[in-house]
Structure 1
Amino acid sequence: MNKTKESIIETIKNSPLNKVKVAICDIDGVLRGKVMHKDKFLNVLDSNFGFCDVVFGWDAVDVAYDNGKYTGWHTGYPDAVAIVDPATFRKVPWDNDIPFFLADFRNKDNEGLDVCPRTLLKKIIKKSEDMGYKPVFSQEFEWFNFKETPQSLDEKGFSGINPITPGMFGYSILRSTYGSAFFNDLFDLLEKFEVPLEGLHTETGPGVFEAAITYGDALESADRAVLFKTAVKEIAYKHGIIATFMAKWNKELPGCSGHVHQSLWDESKEHNLFYDEKAENNISELMQQYIAGQLFCLPDILPMIAPTINSFKRLVEGAWAPTTITWGVDNRTTALRALPGSKKATRLETRICGSDVNPYLAMAACMAAGLFGIENKLKLEIAPTRGNGYEETKNGVLPGSLKEATERMKNSDLSVKLFGEAFTDHFVRTREWEYRQFAQEVTDWELRRYFEII
């Protein structure tokens, strides 16, 4: 699709619809947006528009933080300046082809807003490019699907909910044909929405799918990943289905991953700098430094890729999610899985990420940590794990809860070095809020365990 400003203006003017949808991504990875009359949109395309900054002052369920610094009752929740990014232009094929755009936030000096996740990723990408490396990324997601509606979930209290299919049917050709209209719509409509998939299949678990999004430049890949999650939910609505990207919705079932794949290329994008045909396993020295950087940094920035209370329910032994500071070659029990091979496909997969991540923050964290390793010429002194990564604890284990991980990030100078003081302060405050909300709740588990017997 031609995405010059001139062509976009012409397309909007000639659209049979009189409206345009615009969205931003908040700190939790939730798309927040509005529909504008196309005349209003054409005006703001050449300038900017106001978007209430409460989207960075409340949590995923719209409860205002009591510890916010960037905005809050003390600021009066004013409008922030938002700028439409014309390069994100798409049409929503399941919603009458309504034109759709993502927007970025700016501060009063017309610079990128520090607390904006998309702005942070753009800063890290710029650093990579200034170092001479073009980051090429992609993300894959697992998620569960249920024969429910928002109303039925509320009425049932989120218990006794029905998956679209029963049983454990990973990579099942059989199950993917049951209710195939939904399965086919996902693949075809996402393609039309310019979120192309390399693959889509069932995973093990009742009603669970997995999709690998086609790789591309890092910012485009993050945009695709953010749009993918909302698109899947909207397409599911059309079929009377609720899709969830919780990292672990049921303790008896596998969790849902959001693995990030990454590689660095030269400025011409002709040479994958992670590949070296003369090196052991074809892993270049640059890739070794990148891996070393992630292994060094990840324990201090874990909330960026495990952002919720629920994230840590997935990070348990024997559940296809890592718990130790490890790496290996094509090893699915380690935190980092190196995938060396061809010149084109050699890459690193960060397996800590669950499907509940904010893709902008997950990719920013992975890239910043890897670049830290390159910048400081870190040696990959941790040997690759050749067996069970859950048993390789000599190099350390990951923090086991959001509270522990957030306190470590808060007390680490490294996070400020990687992401800046303003973003780090804001993000840590939001994670402190998140674990405090859970700490004050009385759960069903507590009622069953203590109500009668204590």
Structure 2
Amino acid sequence: MSHQMFEWLREHRITEVECIVPDMTGVARGKIVPKDKFVSEAEMRLPEAVLIQTVTGDYPDDSMLDLTDPDMVLKPDPDSLRFVPWATDPTAQLIFDAFRADGSPVEVAPRSVLRRVLQLYTDKGWAPVVAPEMEFYLLSPNPDPDIPLAPPIGRTGRAEFGRRSYAIDAVNEFDPLFEDIYDYCHAQNLEVDTLIHEIGTAQMEINFLHGNALDLCDQVFLFKRTVREAAFRHNMYATFMAKPMEGEPGSAMHIHQSVTDIETGKNLFSNPDGSSSEMFLHFIGGLQHYLPECMPFFAPYVNSYRRLSRYTAAPTNVEWGYDNRTVGLRVPHSSPAARRVENRVPGVDVNPYIAMAATLACGYLGIVNKIKPRDPLASDAYELPFQFPRGTEEALERLSRCHDVAEVLGPRFVKMFIGMKEKEFAEYFRVISPWERRFLLLHV
């Protein structure tokens, strides 16, 4: 442990440390350790199998793992040290990286996957700059999963109804909750920016300031925990499901992306005269070519595909256009220094590290292979043919054939990710839905 970390723990009288490893689903795994034990122990260990648990807590086929089920050596990232502001006693949280006994990174750990992609950019003298936008719903408590979800009660004593897009008063209905969210974010150095009311009933969006991809993924990962904890405190649920309610739009994690020169800091998406660069166009070309082939990273669950349907404020293709919100790849109006591409495809249910690695991988392949994009679209893209897989099975099959992306992200990681998702889908497929009982039980 660094002297700086030790002094921080001592200065803030920390009594416990949450030692966190993000798994492939984006769940926080790890251990809660008394501060004195954390300080005295040289290292922490967990089995590699922790990383590939399904969202239900099950595991894919045993052939995915080393037969000896070895431990990972976990090392803390000092830059991730933060408070747990909702804890009763002074508590810190720390994100760990995973290594093997020989010191090499565990290549299937989500942070390792993102670091692998970022290193490819570094080797070229480039640095990606990203800014995520997070949509989520506030809900009344719902302990029974068989009962449909409903919006929460606001300060007026009424549940929200109808469309309240961008309405200030609709956000103020939940002002005490958002005060806590902002206080919690400030305590953790989460650099959140704008808060708006989105299209759906009690659907909100909070944007992050642009910055380093790994740091922003850490912030998104912790932000999800933060919002859920703050909502619990106000007798609400907050959900990051992609499509939690019938008849309401889904929730996305839009990712704004650009690439800068490491030495000069200049935006490489713009030429010196302010025009768009070849790199900019090739980045878009890579996204257009590869995004449909690796959709499990952007739509990881069966529920995710309910969001990707026509006229629901979600994209149905990877066309691109200037300030066009109907396409999958939007280029906002900006100065040349701020030229960027907004990937509107990912749902908010993604693992942020994996989705970020995948979108940057697609763009990187476009740059190095000089893939030209189609012409920008200035019309309504919802009228165009659907360009994505229709569901989990088709998406996983297409990903298994996408060897270019697997080489960038890591073949073993992609194989294990597919195995985990196949296990989840098999579990889902065993469940008989209320729709089937309603319409098929006595009618067929």
User: Same fold by TM (over 0.5)?
Assistant: yes
Counterpart in the other structure of 1:108:
101
Q: What residue is the counterpart of 2:143 in the other structure?
A: 154
SS at match of 1:34: strand
Supply the distance in 2 between the matched residues of 1:268 and 1:158 (Cα, whole angstroms): 55
In 2, the alpha carbon distance for the partners of 1:68 and 1:304 equals 22
Matched residue SS, 1:194 = coil
Pair 1:338–1:58, CA change in 2 (3 A): same
1:173 aligns with 2:168: yes
Give the CA deviation at 1:358: 0.5
Match of 1:24 among 21, 42, 45: 21
Q: Matched residues in 1 for 2:252 and 2:440: separation?
A: 33
Cα shift at 1:160: 5.3
- Equivalences, count: 437
Deviation, 1:161, is 3.8
The CA distance in 2 between the partners of 1:112 and 1:238, in whole Å, is: 38
Please state if 1:35 is matched with 2:20: no
Q: 2:129 aligns with which of 125, 136, 140?
A: 136
Matched, 1:416 2:411: no
Task: Please name the residue that 1:333 is paired with.
Answer: 326
Q: 1:6 aligns with which of 3, 7, 12?
A: 3
- Alignment match, 1:298: 291
Structure 1: gaps spanning 5 or more residues: none
Between 1:186-195 and 1:13-22, the stretch displaced more is 13-22
Q: 1:363 aligns with which of 348, 356, 361?
A: 356
Query: Partner of 1:404 in structure 2?
Result: 394
Give the root-mean-square deviation of aligned CA atoms.
1.9
Q: Residue in 2 aligned with 1:117?
A: 110
Contact kept? 1:124, 1:367, Cα under 8 Å:
yes
* TM-score, with length taken from structure 2: 0.93
| Distance in 2 (alpha carbons) for counterparts of 1:337 and 1:87 | 32
Cα distance in structure 2, aligned partners of 1:176 and 1:57: 37
Deviations 1:194-250 (A, max 9, x none): 112111121122221111011111110111111111111111111111111000012
Whichever residue aligns with residue 201 of structure 1, its letter is: I
The structural deviation recorded for 1:416 is 2.1
Cα–Cα, structure 1 residues 90 and 160, in superposed 2: closer, same or farther, change >3 Å?
closer
| CA pair 261-269 structure 1, distance change in 2 beyond 3 A | farther
- The equivalences for 1:65-104 within 5 A come to 65-66=60-61, 69-70=64-65, 75=68, 77-95=69-87, 96-104=89-97
Match of 2:258 in 1: 263
1:73-103 per-residue CA deviation (whole Å, 9 max, x = no partner) reads x54x553221111111111222255221100
- Structure 2 distance, partners of 1:97, 1:174, is 35
Please say if residues 321 and 351 of structure 1, whose CA atoms lie closer than 8 Å, have aligned partners that are also in contact. yes
Aligned partner of residue 103 in structure 1, secondary structure: strand
- The answer as to whether partners of 1:134 and 1:269 remain within 8 angstroms in 2 is no
Contact 1:67–1:429 (CA under 8 A) maintained in structure 2: no
Displacement of 1:385 in angstroms is: 1.0
CA distance in structure 1 between the partners assigned to 2:144 and 2:295 by the alignment: 35
Q: Partner amino acid for 1:163?
A: P
Q: Is this contact kept in 2: 1:68–1:429, CA < 8 A? A: no
Which residue pairs with 2:181 in the alignment?
186
Distance (whole Å) between structure 2 residues aligned to residue 147 and residue 169 of structure 1 = 18
Aligned to 2:210: 215
Is the Cα contact below 8 Å between 1:115 and 1:422 reproduced in 2?
yes
Contact 2:196 2:206 (C-alpha < 8 Å) held by counterparts: yes
Residue identity opposite 1:166 in structure 2: E
Q: Does structure 1 residue 163 correspond to structure 2 residue 160?
A: no
Which letter maps to 1:309? V
Give the partner amino acid of 1:222. C
**Displacement of 1:49:** 0.8
Deviation per CA, 1:376-401: give whole Å up to 9, x if none: 12222x011111112233xx711111
Of the three residues 417, 422, 426, the one matched with 1:427 is 417
Cα distance, 1:68 vs. partner? 5.3
User: Could you state the TM-score of these two structures normalised by the residue count of structure 1?
Assistant: 0.91
User: Separation in 1 of the partners of 2:327 and 2:118?
Assistant: 26
Q: CA deviation at 1:348?
A: 0.8
1:269-300 deviation line (CA, Å, top 9, x unaligned):
63111123646xx3221111111111111121
Counterpart-to-counterpart distance in 2, 1:127 and 1:156: 43
The partner residue of 1:314 within 293, 307, 331 is 307
Aligned counterparts of 2:378 and 2:4: Cα–Cα separation in 1: 53
Equivalence for 1:392: 384
Report the Cα distance in structure 1 between the residues aligned to 2:247 and 2:345, rounded to whole angstroms.
20
